[in-house]
Copies of this chain bind each other. A is one copy, B any other.
Amino acid sequence: MSRTPAQTRQRAIDLAAETMGELIAFWGFKASMGRIWTLLYLSSSPLPADVIGERTGLSAGAVSMALTELQQWGLCERAVLPAERKRHYRAETDVWGVVRRIVRERELRLVGRSVQRFSEAVELLEESLREHPDDEEAAFMLSRLRGLLSLARIGYQMVESFAEVGMFTLDPIRGALGRANDAS
C-alpha cells in the first residue's frame, strides 16, 4: 500500500492547487494566488502565513503580497481568532460571486476602455472624411472600424449581463457580425 493519510491529503492539495493555479493564471492572475486560495479552501480551519509559505513553497514576502491581493479581490479574508497571535486566513467560498465581481471590475473596464478608443478612432476618421470626402481608403477603414466598434459594444453588453444577471446570449452578435462583415 501507498501512503499515510497526511501524505495523501498533501498530494490531493498539491494536485488541486496546481490545477487552480493554472486556471487562474490563464485568467490573468498570478498562479501563486490560485495555489494559496486552494490551500485555504481545502483546509477545515484558517491558516497563518507561515504555514501557507511552507505548504506552497513561497517566501514570507510572496505570501504577504499574494494574501493582500487575494483580499483585495475578495477571494480570501482574515479569520478573527482571538486565541491566536498570528493572523489566520480563510478562503471565500462563494466562487461565482467572486467571479462575477472580478468580471465586473476588470473585464468590464477593459472592454469599456476599448469601446471608447475605437469610438475615438472612428471620430478621427469621420472628421478627416468631412474635409477629404474622396479619401477612399479612409472610407473603407471607417466601415471596418465601425464593425470593430459594434463588436466591442456587443462584447461589453455580454460581459455586463454576465456580471449583473448571470446570463447572456450570443444572438445579438450575429446581427452585428453580419454588419461588420458587409464591409468586406
Contact = CB atoms under 8 A, between A and B. Distances in A.
Contact of A5 (B18, B122, B128): B128
Interface in A40-73: 41-44
A141 interface: yes
Interface string A78-111: 0000000000000001111000000000000011
A148 interface: yes
Contacts of A170: 96, 162, 166-167
A52 to B, nearest CB: 16
A9 B162 contact: no
A145 B114 contact: no
Given A44-B137, A110-B26, A180-B93, A16 B128 contact: no
A43 to B, nearest CB: 8
Given A94-B177, A125-B8, A166-B170, A118 B19 contact: yes
B94 A181 contact: yes
Nearest to A135: B5
Interface in A155-175: 162, 166-171, 173-174
Interface in A123-167: 124-125, 127-128, 131-132, 135-138, 140-141, 144-145, 147-148, 151, 162, 166-167
Contacts of A147: 93
A20 interface: yes
B95 A151 contact: yes
Interface in A1-27: 1, 3, 5, 8-9, 11-13, 15-16, 18-20, 22-23, 26
